[in-house]
Amino acid sequence: YSCLVLFRLTNVATPLWRFPYEEQLKVKSESQKKVLQTLASRLRELGTDKLEITQRPDGLCCPLHSVVPSPIVNGYRNKSTFSVNRGPDGNPKTVGLYVGTGRARNIVCVRANHLENMPEKHKQVAQCYEEFLQQSPLDPCLLFHQGGHWRELTVRTNSAGHTMAIITFHPQDLSQEELCTQKALLKEFFTCGPGAVCNLTSLYFQESIMTRSSHQQSPYQLLYGEPYIFEEVLGLKFRISPDAFFQINTAGAEVLYQIVGKLSRADKNTALLDVCCGTGAIGLSLACQTSKVVGVEVVEQAVEDARWNAAFNGISNCEFHSGKAEMVLPQFLMSQEDDRLVVAVVNPSRAGLHYRVVRAIRNCEAIRTLIYVSCKPEGEAMRNFLEFCCPPDSGKKLVGESFAPLLAVPVDMFPHTMHCELVMLFTR
């Protein structure tokens, strides 16, 4: 491995690695300022009726809190996904992360052994998987149409040291008997062979003919161990399935949820709406201060986890609904009959909220407080911010009173990277 390739991966995956942590926080603070300046500028263009947004001397749309640091700076990731492809030395069974671009045709897969944000356990499992591939007679699946079988490895760990490994496999035209043979070899390697040093708690296998598949599309097959790993956050126990969303930095998640709780000001006279709720962590952590929690999540396994989490922790004022938020939410809000105020917390993926979700929240008079948690606020989240804050527009069916940004709190969940979770508080 050349130092140059390792250096390239370090700069792609952890571009701030050379900076002392205090300097990293300053870089992120400047980045978040630009987001709020952009939002203020775009709202001015839209002619917002919330004058205080556009008249701040600092050019921001609302006050910006200093970046809240992560309690853990190194090895904080509880989930890592590794690709299988050609390495810098030409080895097609290299397990690592990609560097390069398709346009330049210089993409290679580089081992991630030196990355500071990744725990040693993840690196160990990746190294063992590569060792398994080297002895396997089957080829890796580099391009679907060119055949091959072995694909991604995902590793999940918890703070107790338990480890779940999920291996994705393209079946191509293998028979069921041949598939069973490969699963048996994989299990033997990680339980009795060289891979036993990883001390896996769970080993999953997924046959998938797509780039990404849900459990419904291609079921996760448990080859060995426990079906779940468990994590503790703010005194609550959470069950985590193979494909359930859980914040990548567990210690940082505790800080994030406490901040959301303070900003929500939810009390026994309010209901909490948790959109894109994953395993229910935000809603469950705030259940004790509110009258009712309603969670919406597209991943069915995650909803099952959320319901289990509520029952296990003795929380009875939560309900979780499975389905696309844009389908479930409008129907739910229309069916609400009581007059309680609703605090909405949304934590979508980088793709942001579907327009119908924004419209349902915007047009629901009971929602006076909205908390938007975004890991990429300069992306699709910006579109959502504008939709929530623009003047009423009957053409777009945004007839409810507009929201106004009140406060922004960046939380550093991803040390050594440029990313930051931005918690935006909107009210009306």
- Measured CA to CA, the distance from residue 378 to residue 295 in angstroms comes to 26
Kindly provide the b/e burial profile for residues 123-143, where b requires at least 16 CB atoms within 10 angstroms of the residue's own CB: bbbbbbbbbbbeebebebbbe
- Measured CA to CA, the distance from residue 266 to residue 286 in angstroms comes to 8
Q: Is 134 annotated as a binding residue?
A: no
Total residue length of the chain: 428
> In terms of DSSP bridges, do strands 150-157 and 404-411 run parallel, antiparallel, or are they unpaired?
unpaired
Query: In whole angstroms, how large is the CA radius of gyration of the chain?
Result: 23
- Measured CA to CA, the distance from residue 385 to residue 62 in angstroms comes to 13
Q: Does the active-site annotation cover 375? A: yes
- Measured CA to CA, the distance from residue 422 to residue 350 in angstroms comes to 12
- Measured CA to CA, the distance from residue 366 to residue 221 in angstroms comes to 43
> To the nearest 10°, the Cα dihedral for 324, 211, 162, 201?
110
CB under 8 Å to 202, separation ≥6 — which residues?
162, 163, 164, 165, 222, 224, 225, 226, 227, 228, 229, 242
Task: Determine the 3-state secondary structure of 361 from DSSP.
Answer: helix
Q: Is 247 annotated as a binding residue?
A: yes
CB 226 within 8 A of CB 202: yes
Q: How far apart are the first and last CA of the chain?
A: 56
- Measured CA to CA, the distance from residue 197 to residue 200 in angstroms comes to 8
Task: Determine the 3-state secondary structure of 116 from DSSP.
Answer: coil
Active-site residue identified among 375, 389, 390, 420: 375
- Measured CA to CA, the distance from residue 168 to residue 149 in angstroms comes to 9
- Give the sign of the dihedral formed by CA 374, CA 380, CA 386, CA 392: negative
Q: Is 91 annotated as a binding residue?
A: no
Binding residues: 247, 297, 347
* Binding annotation for S-adenosyl-L-methionine: 247, 297, 347
Question: Which residues have a catalytic role annotated?
Answer: 375
